[in-house]
Structure 1
Amino acid sequence: MNARTFWQSFKRRVLGACLLGLSAWTAAAENECPPEPKPLSPEMLSAAQRQARDRGFLWRVSKDGHSSYLYGTLHVGREAWLAAGPALEQALKSTNTLALELDPLDPDVAVQMGQALAKTPKRKLEEGARARLGRQLQVQCMPVESADQVPAELLLAGLSLNLARRDGLDGQFGSEMFLAMMARARGMKVVSLETVELQLRALLAADDAEARQILIDGLNELESGHARESLLDLVSMWETGDVRRLNTYEQWCECVVTPMEKLQMQRLLDERNPAMARQIDAMHRSGSRVLAAVGSLHMSGPRGLPAVLARMGYEIERLP
């Protein structure tokens, strides 16, 4: 499996930047492969619509006489979540542009990602860590040979997603996918706030030493069971819209402990939020009514998008 093929498979489970805010979690001591999700169907969408309710985090942001919206997403989900609750539905009706980190339905994104990954340098990894990675790939029914062909950072994310499927969560049911489908069905403009190059710069190690440490940290999380617990806590926080826990995420998740984890959090969130805020602001000032839907951890605390836009002069209103 080469990098391009891996990305095409990986993209079906991850929505562009579904890695953001999710650390790796433990591999279960099971020999069975994670269950395959049911294919999307009209019946599935209709069933979700009948029980639709609000989940996640929603804000109205107002400036210059009109409003846009911020929505904190979850990059994995359950089939019952494939519908907008009343507040999110109203935000969709009130806007004309959906802005995502990367549009999961844009075919150019998949092509660009495959091309970029094919050019990614191969990192020198320690044999012990490579053997541990191989065992995790085997447990989660991923090709062991992919350890020689795909960056370890992405393999850790793929392992995490496969493990999430054991808890009934899947990338095709994540927020971005159903929002991208709904927006297109309504004739809304769909844009990406970032580029493939920018995302990979945030996701991938800068050198061999970083790659080795990211792999070791990720494997420790996978093997200890802690990361699965963190993910399920994150899912619960998102499902209930618990903004207090969102704003204190780094204090309780125990996933920003090592120097490398702190550097990764800075790259994945803090360094990207100002640029995304400027993109949202530019569209809003041009007259667009924007629903910006990005990973929920981008909304967290004083460096989150609501706080950044507030400092840019926006009135921020948290919606139920």
Structure 2
Amino acid sequence: MPALPKFLAALLLTLNLSAYAADACPPNTPTPTPEQIAAAAANARDHGLLWRVSKGGRSAYLYGTVHVGKLDWALPGPALNKAWEDTDTLAVELDISDAQTIRALTQDAPKLAHPLDAATQARLDAQLRAACLPPQALAALHPLMQVSTLAMLAGRWDELDAGYAQEAMLLTRARAEERRVVALETAQEQLAALIPRDPKDVRRGIDDGLDQLEREQVRAPMLKLAQAWADSDLPLLQHYEDWCDCVHDEADRRYLHGLLEKRNPKMAERFVALHATGKRVLVAIGALHMIGPTGLPALLKKMGFTVERLVPAESP
């Protein structure tokens, strides 16, 4: 299954998952104590991917994130802290703290869905039970988004929690400090990337996602992606398509292209427009939007920006 949109992390935070914990359920991440938070902050190091981009005498930063995390990954390291201090605006894919955005995702998206047949609904209900969620916990979401959310929740078995996703943490910090937050996409644009227009492709995506959940094939690539991000392993991330177990035919390849590379030029254009206003911007979006010749750093370099990779550091 491809990397998942960031807004799903915010939606998961609205669920009281601890109410459904049981021996057969994925473990819930305990609330950290003040001492644990202090220790994590004292030992924080940089994770993910970070670039500085400059043009017109001003610099901005591009930070590649993932949709799940751990406490030890959640607090920013020195390079990301420096980027935060050097900027005044946080740019994200979607502002998942914005009520209108959440409303669009939970009210508009289900309208795009066709009713599921009884057999498929039964399979989906079974996965909700396996995740220890009540039957209606994800009912506000499009069925394809429900499957994606269940895939994300499977990360709990490996101590991967959407609440510790770096982009969500940065949004929380921005709101606390009353920092300007800008979305590089609209909810409608992200839904268009996530949900195919052809109902047959939607059904195929739901079936494939349920197959992977039933065969327990979701956790390994998710853990590999998260660990590659935590280790700032750029070469491994650059070959994501080779090991993600999400591209089995040309249809899968087209879907992944629409979910990742196809969205990058528009986000790059909106960043450039924002940079031109004089704002000092920290862009925090999915790490897979940053890699290769179609990633944001490469696109901005073609648009006249000087691009310097900070994490992992450039080789001499």
Query: TM-score by structure 1 length?
Result: 0.84
Contact residue 60 and residue 317 of structure 1 kept, 8 A: yes
CA-to-partner distance for each residue in 1:115-143, whole Å, 9 max, x for gaps? 3235x133244544333323222211233
Per the alignment, residue 200 of structure 1 pairs with: 191
Of the three residues 80, 89, 94, the one matched with 2:72 is 80
Per the alignment, residue 160 of structure 1 pairs with: 151
1:121 paired with 2:103, answer no
CA-to-partner distance for each residue in 1:273-317, whole Å, 9 max, x for gaps? 101000111111221111100011111211111111111111111
Report the CA distance between 1:81 and its aligned residue.
2.2
Alpha-carbon distance in 1 for matches of 2:112, 2:39: 45
Residue identity opposite 2:243 in structure 1: W
Contact residue 98 and residue 183 of structure 1 kept, 8 A: yes
Alpha-carbon distance in 1 for matches of 2:289, 2:273: 18
Residue identity opposite 2:60 in structure 1: S
Contact residue 249 and residue 300 of structure 1 kept, 8 A: no
Which shifted more, 185-194 or 237-246?
185-194
Identity fraction in percent: 40
Contact residue 60 and residue 319 of structure 1 kept, 8 A: yes
CA-to-partner distance for each residue in 1:180-237, whole Å, 9 max, x for gaps? 1223344421111111111111112323211210012112222333321111110111
Report the CA distance between 1:54 and its aligned residue.
0.4
Per the alignment, residue 284 of structure 1 pairs with: 275
Task: Report the CA distance shift for 1:213/1:296 in structure 2 as closer, same or farther (over 3 A).
Answer: same
Contact residue 95 and residue 181 of structure 2 kept, 8 A: yes
Task: Report the CA distance shift for 1:84/1:147 in structure 2 as closer, same or farther (over 3 A).
Answer: closer
What do you get for the CA RMSD once the two structures are aligned? 2.5
Contact residue 248 and residue 300 of structure 1 kept, 8 A: no
Alpha-carbon distance in 2 for matches of 1:36, 1:317: 39
Per the alignment, residue 135 of structure 1 pairs with: 126
Task: Report the CA distance shift for 1:188/1:204 in structure 2 as closer, same or farther (over 3 A).
Answer: same
Consecutive unaligned residues of structure 2, counting only runs of 5 or more, are: 1-6, 15-21, 312-316
Contact residue 91 and residue 184 of structure 2 kept, 8 A: yes
Contact residue 73 and residue 164 of structure 2 kept, 8 A: yes
Alpha-carbon distance in 1 for matches of 2:280, 2:231: 26
Report the CA distance between 1:112 and its aligned residue.
3.1
Q: Secondary structure at the match of 2:289?
A: helix
Contact residue 129 and residue 135 of structure 2 kept, 8 A: yes
Of the three residues 57, 61, 65, the one matched with 1:69 is 61
Per the alignment, residue 12 of structure 2 pairs with: 13
Consecutive unaligned residues of structure 1, counting only runs of 5 or more, are: 1-7, 16-29
CA-to-partner distance for each residue in 1:25-51, whole Å, 9 max, x for gaps? xxxxx9722233334775554332122
Alpha-carbon distance in 1 for matches of 2:119, 2:138: 13
What pairs up with 1:27-42 in 2 under 5 angstroms?
A: 32-39=24-31
Q: Secondary structure at the match of 1:284?
A: helix
Per the alignment, residue 234 of structure 1 pairs with: 225
Query: TM-score by structure 2 length?
Result: 0.85
Q: Secondary structure at the match of 2:247?
A: coil
Report the CA distance between 1:153 and its aligned residue.
0.9
Alpha-carbon distance in 2 for matches of 1:283, 1:106: 19
1:105 paired with 2:97, answer yes
Report the CA distance between 1:71 and its aligned residue.
0.3
Contact residue 213 and residue 260 of structure 1 kept, 8 A: no
